[in-house]
Chains A and B, each alone.
Chain A
Amino acid sequence: MGALFFSLIGYILVRTKLPGRGILDTICWLPSAIPGVLAGLGLLWMFLGTPVFRPFYGTIVLLVVAQVLGGITLATQILKANFVQLGKELEESSRMSGAGFWRTYFRIVFPLMAQTMVMVAVIKFMFAAQHNSAIILLATSETRTLSLLALDQVAAGYREVASITIIMITVLTLGVAIVARSFGLKVGIRAD
């Protein structure tokens, strides 16, 4: 879901001449530029301070939002590079064939970008599985990431349980990394 959202941002940044896309580009860099604790605090503030968002505190939604925002820099930059590679004429010929913007986006751009987007999603999953300081502030006892769980377990003295959790994280990220690697190979040898 994050990948789809970011592909739109990347598309806007590369293809359009909309005013304000420079600002959008800068905003995409922010989550990586400011410390995680600060970003988490900001989010916490937003979710607690805004009545509309308050019910989401303590739910998984909040964690997803934090994770999605955390991945924005990497994802948009990778997708941007991919859009530059993708010839503009592929979209233009779709427009000339009679497809509107959204039809072109979902029938032409999206399938051609799909492999990169899966890769972005995989990388983001790996980040999510590892620790993220922004999450510390947002997680409650029911919803927490594996790394937080491990931290709690260490603090409570359950060292064996904690190491099992850590091993789980390692296995998960390694497994995903292998998937990503094989995917990258597929993309690499695809001859046009």
Chain B
Amino acid sequence: MSFLRIQNLYKTFGDVAAVNRINIDIAEGEFFTMLGSSGCGKTTTLRMVGGLEKPDSGEIFLGDQCLVAPEKNLFIKPEKRNMGMVFQSYALWPHMTVFENVAYPLKLRGIKGAEASKKVEDVLALVGLAGLGERPAPALSGGQQQRVALARALVFSPKVLLLDEPLSNLDAQLREEMRRELKSLQQRVNITVIFVTHDQIEALSLSDRIAIMKFGVLEQVGTPEDVYFRPATPFVRDFLGKTFLLPGKISTSTEQEVNVEVQGVNAASLKLPRNKVIGSANGSLAVGQGVTVAIRPEKVNLTVGRQDGRPNMVEATLQTVQFLGDRYEYTVTLGTDTRVLVSPESHDLKSGERVYLELKPEGMTLWPSEK
């Protein structure tokens, strides 16, 4: 049974449907991420789960308890939901010390004295801030403040932890460090987490499952590998990582594979396994039908000479080569798209030269024609 269930959740701001009838089931102990660009409704959804925003319609359940149901005039206040939340701005109270900040939720629950001190010390140690309790909250660095916010959200052992872009105010290096810590922390505490971010690296690396949102609608929900390698919509495909898009048309189609004749890249044809055909293109695979092949740059092998006999070879133009110590970055134009290929191997190549790319079938997807 699902632990946290969102049913038909709907919320408008003015005339715009910020969250448009979405359904999500989250399991206990799951790290669930809502990913999307700003204004897609992910934060609004999170705030409705926390009770900081009221939906226009729809229901949210935690276990078998209904948290909100506008139709039944039911609304459980945020302070009664027993959820921890970390905000993008940390939201530490500047008139309190670190200890007082973290002890605040305990005080409200009637936990005082030695028991409270013990809990606060424990949770501060958990986030790596042992011994900093007496500092005033504003005296800490950004990363430390974020840890305090995390400690404050965890100290009362909430049922769910809500994270609203908690890493986006940190600088790049610190963000990476906090990302790893967040993951290991979640595994140690084994708490259900709903995480909101616009950063695909954070989403892919942290989550058990990702929901990708666009204009208040869920585009796809799945494991990181699912959404990355088997995107359900063009939006998901282009939002996560980079792709080369090659227009073409189907030349032959069998039970196992599809052959596509692509235009303008001097390739006889591309062979794709049938399971790489996405969604609506799958229904009718008539020969001659216009399609688009998408390929991830990291599933592309760069070769110098044309290697006959190997399938899925296409011709491309090398724009620049950059040496980065542990790797080379080749900027390549294939068809109309220019992307960067990363390879540890050095090729003796010059800018403007013609190169051949081997497209690995596992990195390709076939889409209905988009132009």
Residues of A at the B interface (CB closer than 8 Å) are 87, 89-90, 92-100, 103, 107-108, 111-112, 191-192
Report how far A89 CA is from B156 CA in the complex, Å. 19
Given contacts A98-B105, A192-B94, contact A92 B78 (CB under 8 A): yes
Report the bound CA distance from A108 to B51 in whole Å: 19
Chain A interface: which of B82-90, B190-198, B228-236? B82-90
B1 at the interface (CB under 8 A from A): no
With known contacts A87-B89, A112-B95, A98–B82 Cβ distance under 8 A: yes
Residues from chain A with a CB closer than 8 A to the CB of B85 are 92-93, 96
A73 CA / B93 CA spacing, docked (Å): 29
The 4 closest A-B pairs by CB, nearest first: A89-B91, A97-B105, A93-B91, A96-B85
Give the docked Cα–Cα distance between A107 and B104 (Å): 10
> How far apart sit A115 and B105, CA to CA, in the bound complex (Å)?
25
Residue among A92, A99, A100, A192 making CB contact with B91, cutoff 8 Å: A92
B152 touches A100 (CB 8 A): no
- B79 is an interface residue with CB less than 8 A from chain A: yes
B82 and A93 within 8 A (CB): no
Please indicate the chain A residues that have their CB under 8 angstroms from the CB of B84 in the complex. Answer: 96
Cβ of B52 within 8 Å of any chain A Cβ, yes or no, is yes
Contact of B67 with A by CB under 8 A? no
Interface size on B, residues (CB 8 A): 29
Give the docked Cα–Cα distance between A93 and B149 (Å).
9
B82 to chain A: which residues have CB within 8 Å?
Answer: 98
Complex contact B95–A111 (CB within 8 A)? yes
The answer to the question of B50 belonging to the interface, with a C-beta cut-off of 8 Å to chain A, is yes
A95 → B minimal CB distance (Å): 4
Instruction: Judge whether B310 is part of the interface by a CB distance below 8 angstroms.
Output: no
A96 to B161, CA, bound (A): 10
Bound: A143/B153 CA distance, A:
55
Find chain A residues with CB under 8 A from B50 CB.
Answer: 96
Q: Which residues of B contact A111 (CB under 8 A)?
A: 95
- Alpha-carbon distance between A158 and B149 when the two chains are bound, in angstroms: 66
- Give CA–CA (A108, B81) in the complex, Å: 20
User: Which of A90, A93, A99, A108 is packed against the most chain B CB atoms within 10 Å?
Assistant: A93
Q: Across the interface, which residues of B come within 8 angstroms of A192, CB to CB?
A: 94, 138
Contact (A103, B87) CB under 8 Å given A98-B82, A192-B138: no
Q: What residues of B have a CB within 8 angstroms of the CB of A191 in the complex? A: 138
Known contacts being A94-B104, A95-B79, A97-B152, is A89 close to B87, with CB within 8 Å? yes
**B108 near A97 (CB under 8 angstroms)?**
yes
Residues from chain A with a CB closer than 8 A to the CB of B138 are: 191-192
Q: Which A residues touch B88, using CB under 8 A?
A: 89
Chain A CB within 8 A of B327 CB: no
| Alpha-carbon gap, A112 to B162, bound state (A) | 25
CB-nearest residue of chain A to B156: A98
A99 to B51 CA separation, bound complex (whole angstroms): 13
Q: Please report the C-alpha to C-alpha distance between residue A89 and residue B93 in the assembled complex, in whole angstroms.
A: 10
Q: Which residues of B contact A100 (CB under 8 A)?
A: 77, 79
- Would you give 11 A-B contacts (Cβ < 8 Å), ordered by A? A87-B89, A87-B91, A92-B91, A93-B85, A95-B52, A96-B52, A97-B108, A98-B80, A98-B109, A100-B79, A112-B95
Question: Across the two chains, which residue of chain B brings its CB closest to A115?
Answer: B95
Report how far A97 CA is from B155 CA in the complex, Å: 10
Which of B81, B94, B156 has the most chain A CB within a 10 Å cutoff? B94
Residues of chain A within 8 A of B81, CB atoms compared: 96
Residue of B nearest to A111 (CB): B95
